[in-house]
C-alpha cells in the first residue's frame, strides 16, 4: 500500500486547516482562504497544533506570538481536561508550552506540567514571531466562544451556553463530553440557567434534556444564526490515529495481510473518535473488512477525510 503521498497530503491540508483557524482568531499569517464553518475550540486547536504542526518554524513562531498576547483567553483547566482525553500532543511538547507561557508571565500554565516527559529537551526550538498578532475579533462567528469568555469569564459557562446556542437540546453528560468539562460542573450551570428561567427541559427516559428558552430572548438572535458546533477534540484524536495507522502500514516489506493487521489494530479508537466528532460515517464498516478489502476501505475513507479538510465540506454543522 502506497501511503507516503497520502500522509503528505493529509499533513498539508491539516496545516492549512490549523492556519485558517488561528488567523480567524487574530494570528498574523496568510490563511488558505477556505472558510472555517464552525465555532473554533481554542484549546483543541492548540493541542492539535502541538501534535501536528509545531515542527514548522513559521507556524510555531506565530502561534507562540499569539499566545503571548492572548494567553489569558485560554482555559488551563480545560486544557488539562482535554489532555486526558485528546492525547495528540506529546508530554514534552505540553511541558515546553507550559514553560514558554510561564516565562511569558502566565504562571498558572505551570499546571500543565503534570504529565511525565521523556526527559528530553522540553523547550521549543527558538521561534520568533513578528509581534503582529491581534486580539481576536469577537464579532466573528468563529470566535464566538472567546466572545462569551470575555462576557462570562474563562470557565465552563461560556462553552455550555455556546453548546446550547448551537443545539436544540441535550443532556448534561453529552454536553460535558462535547465541551471538555466535568459533568458535575455542567449540571451546576444547567441548574443555574434553569432557575433563571433561561431553559426548557424535557424528560427522555431517565435523562433530562435541556434547551434554551426562548432562544432569541437570551442573546441577540442574530448571534445564534451562523453558529455551528463541531466536536473538535475527538476529530483531532481521530486524525492522530489515521496518521499513526498510515505510518504503521507504510513499510514496503509488509504483505497485504500484515498491512491489514496494522490498520485493524487502530480501528476501534479511530472509529470511536470520528463517531464522537459526528463523522462516524467516514470509516463505518471498515472493521467488517479483511485483507486487501480493508486496505482499500481505509485508503478511500482517508482520501475522503483529506478532501473534507481541504474543501471544508461535510464537517458537522
pLDDT, tens only, 221-273: 455 556 889 999 999 999 999 999 998 877 556 788 888 888 998 899 999 99
105 three-state secondary structure: coil
Share of the chain above pLDDT 70, in %: 90
Categorize the per-residue pLDDT at 98 as very low, low, confident or very high, splitting at 50, 70 and 90: very high
Domain with CATH 1.10.10.10 in the chain: 147-224
Where residue 105 falls (left for φ over 0; alpha for ψ -120 to 50; beta otherwise) is: left
In the CATH hierarchy, which fold is given to the domain comprising 147-224? Answer: Arc Repressor Mutant, subunit A (1.10.10)
Q: Residue 6: pLDDT above 70?
A: yes
Q: What is the pLDDT of residue 19?
A: 96
Q: Copy the grid coordinates of residue 227.
A: 453558529
Is 205 or 159 the better-scoring residue by pLDDT? Answer: 159
Q: Residue 216: pLDDT above 50?
A: no
No. of helices (H) and no. of strands (E), the chain: 13, 2
Q: What mean pLDDT value characterizes the chain?
A: 87
Beta bridge partners of 204: 207
User: How far is residue 38's CA from residue 203's CA, in Å, rounded to a whole number?
Assistant: 29
Categorize the per-residue pLDDT at 43 as very low, low, confident or very high, splitting at 50, 70 and 90: very high
Categorize the per-residue pLDDT at 128 as very low, low, confident or very high, splitting at 50, 70 and 90: low
Rounded (5°) CA angle 33-314-38: 60
Is 43 or 220 the better-scoring residue by pLDDT? Answer: 43
Q: What is the pLDDT of residue 62?
A: 93
Beta bridge partners of 226: none
Question: How far is C-alpha 5 from the geometric centre of its chain's CA atoms?
Answer: 24
Q: Residue 179: pLDDT above 80?
A: yes
Share of the chain above pLDDT 90, in %: 55
Least-confidence region, from 116-120, 191-195, 248-252, 290-294: 116-120
Q: Residue 314: pLDDT above 80?
A: yes
Q: Is the distance from CB of 66 to CB of 42 less than 8 angstroms?
A: no
Mean pLDDT of 71-90: 92
Q: Copy the grid coordinates of residue 295.
A: 486496505
Rounded (5°) CA angle 81-84-87: 120
Is 21 or 133 the better-scoring residue by pLDDT? Answer: 21
Give 248: exposed, middle or buried? Use CB within 10 Å, 0-12, 13-18, 19+: middle
User: How far is residue 181's CA from residue 216's CA, in Å, rounded to a whole number?
Assistant: 26
pTM, two decimals, is 0.90
Beta bridge partners of 209: 202
Q: What is the pLDDT of residue 1?
A: 46
202 three-state secondary structure: strand
Beta bridge partners of 230: none
Question: How far is C-alpha 143 from the geometric centre of its chain's CA atoms?
Answer: 14
User: How far is residue 201's CA from residue 187's CA, in Å, rounded to a whole number?
Assistant: 13
Amino acid at each position: 500500500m502506497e501511503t507516503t503521498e497520502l500522509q503528505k497530503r493529509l499533513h498539508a491540508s491539516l496545516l492549512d486547516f490549523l492556519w485558517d483557524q488561528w488567523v480567524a482568531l487574530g494570528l498574523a499569517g496568510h490563511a488558505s482562504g477556505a472558510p472555517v464553518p464552525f465555532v473554533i475550540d481554542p484549546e483543541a486547536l492548540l493541542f492539535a497544533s502541538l501534535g501536528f504542526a509545531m515542527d514548522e518554524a513559521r507556524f510555531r513562531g506565530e502561534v507562540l506570538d499569539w499566545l503571548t498576547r492572548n494567553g489569558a483567553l485560554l482555559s488551563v483547566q480545560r486544557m488539562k481536561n482535554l489532555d486526558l482525553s485528546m492525547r495528540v500532543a506529546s508530554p514534552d511538547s505540553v511541558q515546553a508550552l507550559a514553560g514558554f507561557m510561564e516565562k511569558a508571565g502566565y504562571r498558572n500554565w505551570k499546571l500543565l506540567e503534570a504529565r511525565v516527559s521523556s526527559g528530553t529537551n522540553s523547550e521549543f526550538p527558538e521561534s520568533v514571531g513578528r509581534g503582529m498578532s491581534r486580539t481576536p475579533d469577537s464579532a466573528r462567528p468563529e470566535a464566538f466562544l472567546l466572545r462569551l469568555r470575555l462576557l462570562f469569564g474563562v470557565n465552563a459557562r461560556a462553552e455550555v451556553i455556546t453548546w446550547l446556542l448551537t443545539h436544540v437540546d441535550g443532556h448534561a453528560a453529552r454536553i460535558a463530553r462535547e465541551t471538555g468539562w466535568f459533568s458535575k460542573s455542567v449540571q451546576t450551570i444547567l441548574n443555574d440557567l434553569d432557575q433563571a428561567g433561561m431553559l426548557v427541559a424535557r424528560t427522555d427516559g431517565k435523562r433530562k434534556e435541556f434547551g434554551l428558552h426562548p432562544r432569541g430572548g437570551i442573546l441577540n438572535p442574530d448571534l445564534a444564526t451562523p453558529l455551528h458546533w463541531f466536536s473538535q477534540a475527538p476529530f483531532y484524536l481521530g486524525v492522530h490515529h489515521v496518521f499513526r495507522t498510515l505510518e504503521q502500514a507504510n513499510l514496503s516489506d509488509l504483505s497485504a495481510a500484515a498491512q491489514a493487521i496494522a490498520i485493524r489494530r487502530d480501528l476501534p479508537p479511530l472509529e470511536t473518535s470520528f463517531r464522537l466528532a459526528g463523522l462516524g460515517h467516514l470509516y463505518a464498516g471498515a472493521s467488517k473488512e479483511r485483507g486487501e478489502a480493508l486496505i482499500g476501505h481505509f485508503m478511500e475513507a482517508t482520501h475522503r477525510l483529506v478532501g473534507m479538510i481541504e474543501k471544508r465540506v461535510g464537517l458537522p454543522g
